[in-house]
Amino acid sequence: MELTPQQKDMSAGKQGDGIQKAMDILTAYGQCYDAERLIPVTSVHIAGNFPVLLDEGIDWLEDLAKGGTRVRVFTTKNPEMYDPLQADEMKIPMRFRQRQGRIHEVLIKLGIIPTYTCHHYLVGNVPRFGDHIAWASSGSQVFANSVIGARSNRDGDHVALAAAIAGVIPEWGLHLQKNRRADLVVDVGELDLESYGPEDFKALGWSLGKKIGARIPVFINLPPDLHIEKIKGLLYTLTVTGAMGMVHLAGITPEAPDLKTALGKNRACLPDLSALPEDVDKAYGEISSGKTAKVDLVIFGCPQCSIQEVQEIAGLMEGKQVHADTQFWICTSAWVKLLCDRMGLLKALTGSGVRVVSDVGAADGPHLYLKEQGVRVIAVNSARASYYAHTLFGMETWFGSTRECVLSAISGKWEGRK
Amino acid sequence: MIRLKARPVTRGLAEGEALVSRMAISFTGGMDPESGIIREPGHDLFGQSVAGKILVFPTGKGSTTGSWQYYAAFKRGVAPKGIINEKAEGVVAVSAIITGTPMVHGLEKSPLDHIKTGDFVRIDADKGFVEIIKS
């Protein structure tokens, strides 16, 4: 890899230990992929929370921050484990509060914006078309490439953080125009998409992710006015069962105004894969891992709920009460929670027995302590949350529509398809 | 003794007993950071510990959070001493760099064909070679 004189100084430690460490990471990483140079990044997002970092990870971050190392690129942070404003009433164990407190302090020291959200692109971290970025969160990374047209590889936290500190990233993979072309045509024209809710797009994503793997697909026959929640449903689930970094949605993705452009010139436009209604039906059965009808917790927010989703849930809950033996959480960002308060939704939801929890996502963070508190069976409208809560924390999970989840919270037992 | 040229990913020297897998490894979920034991069902190293070994495998796979789990394993003394890959992948490379673990890839001949579990292996990631002393 060719380094500029300034980058050589950074590698040699002339600008401090933290920058040298960052350059060590970036050069080792870049040479794995035969990157020829380092290019500037404009936006970074990092993901790891305590269940992933463990104590040693917090130590590593604290070491990095020693000597005043700070990020030089706008950097935001994914959700944490609990809502600090509700820590007492939610009986969050002290050992977790200490860990999250240490993570918060070190992020501030490093100059990272403590957004604690996975919809960072809704609250200020918005790259432009063609920007080179490093987003270490597989769902939003694909969203950036596929909906915004910014360029990010599937980088992990250490690489993203190193990029934020050094201000550069190795140029390989999806940073290069030639690698962003689709290599697989996926036809969804057989499906009755007009009748599809966001949950159906999630089931579709689940089914197709496995078949697509790490390739870059182009979807054809999608309605061009597809709602953003349905796009998110599809993209965020494709990356659970697959490992693709980019998805072309013909007519929606900026780099895919049509099939031909998405594929480039030298390729036949015939479909390689056609999604069938029975594949989507089958996915429902695979996503749910539940056996027990009684639901301990209904939890929304993977990715964290937008204000539109909270409005929908609040509408469904109007005049209703959550069952006495079931908890009901809406996980979102502090910004959306503030909006809920302003709009009177927070008061209405709280009155119905619903908790609005900020700084937390429904997939992982809270399940460590929820399990200790006896939560075993959860209902979700997110295939991603179902997968991670089940495989990482052993929860029994039921997956269905927002409406089915709300009805389950009211009756205390699963009301969706089994 | 066989000596094979290799491309360094990190720097340094390591030597010890080889543990060879023909399958990709994911450090998140695939390896217990408490014991270094491979716990992915169906993996050819299932139930075996990578602690203190020269770990030889084709490449990495899985969650990009793997480098956090590898770092925790290293601090708990159960990480490998050195890594030899057919083709280095980002998560494994970053794991090696943040722990100072000597690592090479792109050997002139496939390490999977020339190294067997139990062989004594020396990695020189400064000069770029691997030495194999058959057991």
Q: Convert the pLDDT of each residue in A215-236 to its tens digit.
A: 999 999 999 899 999 999 999 9
pLDDT tens per residue across span A147-197: 999 999 988 999 999 999 999 999 999 999 999 999 999 999 999 999 999
Q: What is the CA radius of gyration of chain A?
A: 22
pLDDT tens per residue across span A122-154: 888 999 999 999 999 888 999 999 999 999 998
Contact with chain A for residue B93, Cβ under 8 A:
yes
Average pLDDT over residues A389-393: 86
Q: Tell me: pLDDT of A268 over 80.
A: no
pLDDT of residue A393: 86
Contact with chain A for residue B100, Cβ under 8 A:
no
pLDDT of residue A25: 96
Question: Cα(A331)–Cα(B41) distance, rounded to whole angstroms?
Answer: 32
Element (H, E) at A106: helix A94-110
pLDDT of residue A123: 85
Of B9, B28, B66, the CB nearest to A28: B9
Q: Give the dihedral sign, CA A290/A294/A296/A302.
A: positive
Q: Tell me: pLDDT of A386 over 80.
A: yes
Measure in Å the smallest separation between the Cα of B11 and chain A Cα atoms: 10
Contact B72 A391 (CB under 8 A): no
pLDDT of residue A398: 98
pLDDT of residue B108: 97
Least confident of A201-205, A334-338, B90-94: B90-94
Average pLDDT over residues A59-87: 96
Q: Tell me: pLDDT of A50 over 80.
A: yes
Splitting chain B (135 residues) into consecutive groups of 10 residues, what average pLDDT does each group show?
A: 95 98 91 93 94 96 89 98 94 95 97 97 98 90
Residue A8: Cβ-neighbour burial (10 angstroms; 0-12, 13-18, 19+): exposed
Average pLDDT, chain A: 95
Question: Cα(B56)–Cα(B19) distance, rounded to whole angstroms?
Answer: 6
Question: Cα(A186)–Cα(A159) distance, rounded to whole angstroms?
Answer: 32
Residue of B nearest to A240 (CA): B63
CB-based contact A181:A262 (threshold 8 Å): yes
pLDDT of residue A391: 83
Q: Give the dihedral sign, CA A285/A286/A291/A295.
A: negative
Confidence of residue A243 (pLDDT cuts 50, 70, 90): confident
Least confident of A18-22, A122-126, A229-233, A379-383: A122-126
pLDDT of residue A142: 94
pTM for this structure? 0.92
pLDDT of residue A392: 81
CB-based contact A348:A316 (threshold 8 Å): no
Residue of B nearest to A136 (CA): B64
Could you tell me the maximum CA-CA distance found in chain A, to the nearest angstrom?
Answer: 66
For residue A293, report the phi and psi dihedrals to the nearest 5 degrees: -70, -35
pLDDT of residue A363: 86
Q: Tell me: pLDDT of A3 over 80.
A: yes
Instruction: Count Cβ atoms below 10 Å from residue B118 Cβ, excluding itself.
Output: 11
| A60 neighbourhood in chain B, CB within 8 Å | 71, 98
Question: Cα(A132)–Cα(B47) distance, rounded to whole angstroms?
Answer: 41
The question of whether B63 is a catalytic residue gets the answer yes
SS3 A304: coil
Q: Tell me: pLDDT of A266 over 80.
A: no
Q: A-side interface with B, Cβ within 8 Å?
A: 24-25, 28-29, 31-33, 47-48, 52-57, 59-60, 136, 138, 154-159, 391-392
How much of chain A, in percent, has pLDDT values that exceed 70?
Answer: 100
CB-based contact A408:A300 (threshold 8 Å): no
DSSP assignment of chain B? -EEEE-EESS--EEEEEEEE-SS-B-STTTB-TTT-BB--TT-TTTT-B-TTSEEEES-B-S-TTHHHHHHHHHHTT-S-SEEEESS--HHHHHHHHHHT--EEE--SS-HHHH--TT-EEEEETTTTEEEEE--
Contact B94 A60 (CB under 8 A): no
